[in-house]
């Protein structure tokens, strides 16, 4: 059960880094959850800073051992974590969407980010470290943080950190078991939650600004965009959303 074994720190460089150290030292047990009240070196995608104030948000990392997954299906872990987080935040807020590949949005603002690091052995994923930062009570951020928001800014009564942690662990465990049982509905469930799906949007691909609409994802997790002439399949890092 994800979350049965929990390790908590008042302060830590990063919950993902602690999880990585545990995995590399042979102590990475499936279902272990690491949390911290504050991170001194919290990271988002591409090494960006994750700005989270002391005791205001949920900072957690889950260690899982999805040895049944070959490396060409690693995007399934993005799908799993994104659905697990989005459906819990949807209990408290409306307009919750997944901004591909795994940011969670309320309207046009980011409420949560997910950072995944996989450890591969014999072409299969031996361990996966899944970091989640969920803004709960924070209402101010550094000026260089783009379009942040929190649950408390979008609902009447936000959950406490411990309550949300319990709910995320249960949700993550449920969706992970669906993944393990080869539930074919997960991909379509993820696609139905995609930010800007079937809506007109603007994107930067390379140095080109295009207008199009998101159709979904392919089997490798690449984002499919119809730009009125053709369908483009974009990898992570190849496309930017204009919000």
User: What are the boundaries of each domain within the chain?
Assistant: 6-192, 200-242
Which H or E run contains 127?
A: strand 124-134
* pLDDT (tens digit per residue) in 33-76: 999 999 998 776 656 667 788 889 999 999 999 999 999 999 99
C-alpha span between 163 and 97 (Å, rounded): 21
The topology (CATH level 3) of 6-192 is: BirA Bifunctional Protein; domain 2 (3.30.930)
Across the chain, mean pLDDT equals 94
Q: Of all residues in the chain, what percent carry a pLDDT higher than 90?
A: 87
Q: What is the pLDDT of residue 47?
A: 60
- Of the candidates 178, 210, 182, 216, the residue with the CA atom closest to the CA atom of residue 197: 216
* 200-242 maps to CATH 1.10.3470: no
pLDDT-derived band at 228 (thresholds 50, 70, 90) equals: confident
Q: What is the pLDDT of residue 142?
A: 85
Q: CB neighbours of 123 closer than 8 A, spacing ≥ 6?
A: 70, 71
Q: How large is the angle between the packed helices 185-192 and 75-89, nearest 10 degrees?
A: 60
């Amino acid at each position: 059960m994800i979350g049965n074994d929990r390790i908590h720190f008042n302060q830590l460089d990063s919950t993902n880094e602690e999880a990585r150290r545990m995995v590399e030292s042979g102590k990475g047990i499936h279902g272990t959850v690491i949390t911290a009240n504050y991170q001194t070196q919290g990271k988002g995608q591409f090494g960006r800073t994750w700005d989270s104030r002391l005791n205001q948000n949920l900072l957690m990392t889950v260690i899982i051992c999805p040895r049944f997954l070959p490396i060409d299906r690693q995007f399934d872990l993005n799908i799993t974590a994104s659905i697990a987080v989005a459906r819990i935040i949807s209990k408290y807020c409306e307009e919750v969407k997944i901004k591909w590949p795994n940011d969670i949005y309320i309207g046009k603002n980011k409420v949560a980010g997910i950072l995944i690091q996989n450890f591969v052995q014999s072409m299969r994923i031996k361990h996966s470290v899944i970091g989640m930062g969920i803004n709960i009570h924070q209402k101010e951020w550094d000026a260089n943080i783009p379009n942040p928001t929190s649950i408390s800014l979008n609902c009447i009564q936000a959950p406490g950190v411990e309550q949300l942690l319990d709910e995320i662990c249960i949700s993550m465990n449920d969706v992970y078991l669906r993944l393990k049982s080869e539930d074919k509905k997960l991909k379509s469930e993820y696609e139905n939650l995609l930010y800007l799906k079937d809506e007109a949007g603007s994107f930067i691909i390379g140095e080109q600004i295009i207008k199009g609409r998101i159709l979904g994802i392919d089997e490798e997790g690449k984002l499919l965009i119809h730009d009125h002439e053709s369908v483009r399949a974009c990898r992570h890092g190849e496309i930017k959303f204009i919000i």
